A and B are shown apart, each in its own frame.
Chain A
Amino acid sequence: KAGVTQTPRYLIKTRGQQVTLSCSPISGHRSVSWYQQTPGQGLQFLFEYFSETQRNKGNFPGRFSGRQFSNSRSEMNVSTLELGDSALYLCASSGRDISYEQYFGPGTRLTVT
């Protein structure tokens, strides 16, 4: 069974631009969660999608948004990028919801200059 895949793996953007990251969950998994990881803050929860509906949301500004498609693939969008958005963005999928074991993808390393 293929694992969670994320594209692209690396991205360099300029402040003020927007970016879209993609995540394909493990086949059959319907829950997809997104996390931001920085050296100082550790892993921080962005949001969770289940069957195309956002079910949970972390404490991030509205510039961070996401969506999930009918095939469970998910995208995350960050608008008006700031230098502080530079981070590793991780996606995780679960067979049911975040109360169950999650499987993480390799992440997308975003650098904002």
Chain B
Amino acid sequence: KNQVEQSPQSLIILEGKNCTLQCNYTVSPFSNLRWYKQDTGRGPVSLTIMTFSENTKSNGRYTATLDADTKQSSLHITASQLSDSASYICVAFGNEKLTFGTGTRLTIIP
């Protein structure tokens, strides 16, 4: 059964600090992995999309890594800002289906 598990479920950090969110997936065959940022009450916004042959991809202060062998991905946020407070959703695509994680709720405090 295809699954995507994210950890932690929630995270609180101080403004300016770095953090890393984790995503483990069991999707076969695997094609690509996506990270989305979703502000409360809004639609998700794409941060990165990586195929199985890509190891890392950056989008400003967001850097995603992918290890297709261990089926793990991480999203690293550098120098966090208050506007980074949101839910971060990991999504794996494979076998013509999208499998969504339940997200990590990140709160940045001043």
Contact = CB atoms under 8 A, between A and B. Distances in A.
Q: Give the secondary structure class of A's interface.
A: strand
A interface, how many residues as a size bin? 20 to 34
Nearest to A42: B102
A90 B31 contact: no
Interface residues of B, number: 20
A99 B93 contact: yes
B44 A56 contact: no
A106 B42 contact: yes
Contact of A107 (B34, B42, B103): B42
B94 to A, nearest CB: 9
Contacts of B97: 45, 56
Contacts of A42: 89, 100-103
Interface in B7-54: 31-32, 34, 36, 41-46, 49
Given A56-B97, A104-B43, 14 more contacts: A42-B100, A42-B102, A43-B89, A43-B100, A45-B100, A92-B43, A98-B96, A99-B93, A99-B96, A101-B49, A102-B46, A104-B44, A106-B42, A107-B41
